[in-house]
C-alpha cells in the first residue's frame, strides 16, 4: 500500500490537514477521512455529478479529483454553506417544488445550482438546464429541480 502523505487544504472555511494515499480522491478523503457526507459516491467515474463540490469557486467532480491536487485549495460542500442565502433559497425551493425525492443527487445538484446563481443571478430556464446537465437524477424527471432553481433565483432577485 502506498505511503500516506499529509495534505493541507481549506474545507468549508477551516484549515484541515489530512493524511491520504497518493491516489486518494477528494471524494474518499471527504467521506472516509473527514466524515463530510453530502458529497455522494454514485458512479465514481465522473458521470453522475452526485459527488460535486466547489473547489476554488468552481464545481468539480470529487471522484475525479485527487486529494493531492487540492493542497492549499479552498473546498466547499453543502455543510459549509449553512449560512449562505443562495443555498438557503435553493433548499427551500427544492423542498417546496418536489425537487428532492430520494435525495441522493441533491448535494451535488445544489452545488451546481448554487454556483450557477452566484455567476448568473437570474438565469433563463435553458441556462439552468444546461448548468445542471452534468447532474443525474433518477427520481424527479428534472422539471421540478429546474422549477426550484428558477424560483430561488426569482426570490433572491426581489
Ligand atoms: S460519483 Fe462522481 S460523478 Fe458520479
Ligand atoms: S432525488 Fe433521487 S436521484 Fe435525484
Nearest CA to ligand 1 atom 3: 46
**85 is written with which cell numbers?**
442565502
What CATH number is given to the structural domain containing 138?
1.10.150.120
Q: Is 37 in the pocket of ligand 2 (CB under 6 A)?
A: no
- Is 105 in the same domain as 153? yes
Mean residue pLDDT of the chain comes to 96
Confidence (pLDDT) at 14: 97
For residues 129-142, give the mean pLDDT.
97
- Is 75 in the same domain as 124? no
Domain residue limits at 27: 5-80
- CA 33 – CA 36 distance, rounded (Å): 8
- CA 89 – CA 51 distance, rounded (Å): 21
- Is 66 in the same domain as 17? yes
Confidence (pLDDT) at 3: 87
Domain count across the chain: 2
Q: Is 53 in the pocket of ligand 2 (CB under 6 A)?
A: no
List, for residues 44-57, the tens digit of each pLDDT value. Answer: 999 999 999 999 99
What CATH number is given to the structural domain containing 39?
3.10.20.30
List the Cα angle 56/107/140 in 5-degree steps. Answer: 135
Q: Place 23 in a pLDDT band, splitting at 50, 70 and 90.
A: very high
Amino acid at each position: 500500500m502506498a505511503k500516506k502523505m499529509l495534505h493541507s487544504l481549506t474545507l468549508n472555511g477551516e484549515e484541515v490537514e489530512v493524511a491520504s494515499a497518493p491516489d486518494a480522491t477528494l471524494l474518499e478523503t471527504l467521506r472516509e477521512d473527514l466524515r463530510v457526507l453530502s458529497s455522494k459516491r454514485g458512479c465514481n467515474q465522473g458521470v453522475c455529478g452526485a459527488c460535486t463540490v466547489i473547489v476554488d469557486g468552481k464545481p468539480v467532480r470529487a471522484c475525479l479529483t485527487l486529494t493531492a491536487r487540492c493542497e492549499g485549495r479552498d473546498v466547499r460542500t453543502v455543510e459549509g454553506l449553512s449560512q449562505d442565502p443562495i443555498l438557503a433559497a435553493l433548499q427551500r425551493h427544492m423542498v417546496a417544488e418536489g425537487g428532492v425525492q430520494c435525495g441522493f443527487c441533491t448535494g451535488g445538484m445544489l452545488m451546481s445550482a448554487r454556483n450557477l446563481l452566484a455567476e448568473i443571478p437570474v438565469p433563463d430556464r435553458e441556462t439552468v438546464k444546461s448548468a445542471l446537465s452534468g447532474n443525474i437524477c433518477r427520481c424527479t424527471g428534472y422539471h421540478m429541480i429546474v422549477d426550484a432553481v428558477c424560483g430561488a433565483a426569482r426570490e433572491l432577485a426581489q
